[in-house]
């Protein structure tokens, strides 16, 4: 008799949540005529590109590669690497018992499991094959695709990305609770920043202590702290800090994420070492007005396109401009996403549903900022090189919010203020 596998002390969902998800995905598979979904591993995007795997299995953390084979009926299979060992994953979650170590041979392991299913002439859905929210060309390797194609020459291979986007969009109460906890970790990291950021302190030290505060509270790695600090204000945030020492008068902008059980809450803020400059205060007042309008509009039935011009309406007659940034929150790389615009008509006409969770973070900027930053051709005109004009300023604030019939409900609790430090 094998000894019992100890349950690891990590965040986990109930079996009822598993049945809700699996039932929803299988209903969508039946609608679309898909016999099995293959979700290959991909730990890019801070594990966000592996979100479908974690959604179906509850497995995957800190860039551990895991793949999932999800049949329309029968046992769900998770394929893992050699480290950590299988028993670890069986203690990490209780949704999937068929956990197989593939030892750096994922494609072969996928084929082996698929051959156990009656799909020789079936329809195989591949999650991530194309039209991934931030990776429109897909995230599935050519090698894995070709192995499936060659092993099942009479099967039809189809893209299952949109199906999984649809399944994951509306959150359960358990998912919302995980997102709320992740936002709590983010707000703790922001409080750490307020306490630690002082003139003379290297920005990498502040960043490290923010990150440590989240890990100490059970937050997962990897996570994101987009960061910029300087005088004059840097044009864009970066994924890592420098060793530069903070100075009095620095403007700080940051997008902070925490992962709780894989679920990614985000808060965006603007602050200053010292008092907020008057022009920034004026811009911030407008930004908060845009937030109010967007929050009021964040109800079931509203189209994404109905949010895109709120900033232009609010800044009309001022020396500033604004564009909307908003995107779904969940396990990472969630659809839909609108950054200063939308990629296609599918996103423009996407309707908000009750219990959808987004981060809404409109940007208010000077016109010099627009002429100094290139966003390609899909955002604020044609693609252009950064001109680096002086006077480029921008403010942004945003929280993760839940759609309700009466508008947005914030998951965070911090004041919606321009942060003044010291």
Catalogue all structural domains in the chain, each as residue range(s) with its CATH number. 15-169 (3.40.350.10), 173-421 (3.90.230.10)
* pLDDT (0 to 100) of residue 1: 57
Mean pLDDT of the chain: 94
d(CA 393, CA 234): 8
Could you give phi then psi for residue 292, rounded to 5 degrees?
A: -60, -45
For tokens 């502040």, what's the residue? 206
**pLDDT over threshold 90, residue 381:** no
**pLDDT over threshold 90, residue 367:** no
- Percent pLDDT > 90 in the chain is 89
d(CA 392, CA 216): 37
- Residues 118-127 have a mean pLDDT of 98
Contact indicator for 409, 385 with CB cutoff of 8 Å: no
Tokens of residue 97, six digits: 């018992």
Count, residues in the chain: 422
d(CA 358, CA 306): 15
Contact indicator for 48, 175 with CB cutoff of 8 Å: no
pLDDT tens digit sequence for 85-94:
999 999 999 9
pTM: 0.94
- Residues 286-309 have a mean pLDDT of 98
* pLDDT (0 to 100) of residue 388: 46
**pLDDT over threshold 90, residue 115:** yes
d(CA 288, CA 345): 28
**pLDDT over threshold 70, residue 224:** yes
Q: What sign results for the dihedral spanned by CA atoms 17, 21, 27, 33?
A: negative
Contact indicator for 311, 288 with CB cutoff of 8 Å: no
d(CA 267, CA 177): 16
* pLDDT (0 to 100) of residue 235: 86
- Residues 173-187 have a mean pLDDT of 99
pLDDT tens digit sequence for 228-256:
999 999 988 999 999 999 999 999 999 99
* pLDDT (0 to 100) of residue 372: 63
């Amino acid at each position: 008799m094998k000894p019992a596998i100890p349950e690891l002390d990590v965040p986990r969902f109930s079996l009822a949540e598993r049945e809700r998800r699996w039932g929803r995905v299988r209903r969508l598979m039946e609608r679309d005529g898909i016999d099995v979904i293959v979700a290959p591993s991909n730990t890019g995007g801070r594990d966000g590109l592996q979100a479908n795997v974690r959604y179906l299995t509850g497995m995957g953390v800190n860039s551990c590669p895991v793949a999932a084979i999800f049949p329309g009926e029968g046992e769900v299979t998770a394929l893992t690497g050699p480290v950590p060992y299988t028993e670890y994953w069986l203690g990490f979650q209780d949704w999937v018992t068929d956990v197989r170590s593939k030892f750096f041979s994922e494609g072969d392991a996928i084929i082996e499991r698929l051959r156990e299913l009656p799909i020789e002439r079936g329809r195989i859905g591949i999650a991530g094959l194309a039209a991934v929210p931030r990776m429109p060309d897909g995230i599935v390797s050519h090698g894995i695709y070709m192995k499936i194609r060659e092993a099942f020459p009479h099967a039809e291979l189809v893209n299952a990305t949109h199906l999984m986007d649809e399944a994951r969009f509306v959150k359960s109460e358990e998912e919302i609770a995980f997102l709320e906890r992740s936002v709590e970790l983010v707000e703790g990291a922001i409080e750490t920043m307020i306490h630690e950021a002082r003139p003379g302190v290297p920005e990498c030290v502040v960043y490290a202590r923010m990150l440590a505060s989240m890990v100490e509270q059970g937050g997962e790695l990897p996570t994101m702290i987009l960061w910029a600090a300087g005088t004059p204000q840097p044009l864009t945030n970066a994924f890592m800090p420098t060793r530069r020492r903070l100075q009095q008068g620095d403007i700080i902008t940051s997008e902070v994420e925490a992962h709780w059980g894989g679920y990614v809450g985000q808060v965006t803020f603007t602050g200053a070492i010292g008092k907020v400059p008057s022009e920034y205060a004026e811009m911030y007042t407008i930004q908060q007005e845009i937030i109010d309008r967007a929050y009021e509009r964040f109800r079931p039935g509203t189209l994404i396109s109905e949010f895109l011009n709120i900033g232009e309406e609010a800044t009309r007659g001022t020396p500033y401009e604004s564009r909307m940034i908003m995107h779904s929150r969940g396990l990472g790389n969630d659809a839909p996403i609108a950054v200063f615009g939308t990629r296609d008509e599918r996103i423009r006409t996407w309707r908000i549903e009750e219990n959808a969770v987004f981060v809404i973070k409109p940007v208010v900027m000077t016109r010099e900022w627009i002429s100094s930053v290139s966003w390609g051709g899909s955002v604020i005109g044609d693609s252009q090189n950064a001109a680096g004009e002086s006077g480029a300023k921008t403010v942004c604030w945003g929280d993760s919010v839940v759609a309700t019939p009466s508008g947005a409900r914030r998951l965070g609790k911090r004041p919606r203020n321009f942060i003044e430090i010291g």
